[in-house]
Structure 1
Amino acid sequence: MNTTYTVTGMTCQHCVASVTEEVGAVPGVTAVRVDLDSGRLDVTSEAPVSAHAIAAAVDEAGYELAP
């Protein structure tokens, strides 16, 4: 299952690494791809993962999901 989000506030590769690490730690997530230029966050999971769990992980990394 693939889901796409937009992350705001990222400015460098360190930001990308932080978001990738936090979202990758969410139970059920099997792959994470972050594009710095567009802010795009692609999450692959075994089963649906709640948007709240993804938003909380992004917040933990220091960023926010776009509304």
Structure 2
Amino acid sequence: MTSTEQLAWFKSSYSDGGGGDCLELAQAQGNSRDLIHIRDSKNPTLPHLTTTPDAWSAFLTYATR
């Protein structure tokens, strides 16, 4: 498994950089499948959520309705 320090985290292009609430995402391969990692940009050392690309896509589809 990839450690969170080795992941390339990125913020949404909608983030204004002004210190507001924001999520960061990273994509990594592990155990022969891609994984999406999601964390709070204000507290990157806290536990983060890991999900599959299919589940993340389904969430985004639901959230943007």
Q: TM-score under structure 1 normalisation? A: 0.29
Larger fraction in helix: 1
Larger relative contact order (Cα-Cα within 8 Å, sequence gap ≥ 6):
1
Q: Mark the structure with the bigger radius of gyration.
A: 2
Q: TM-score, normalization: structure 2?
A: 0.30
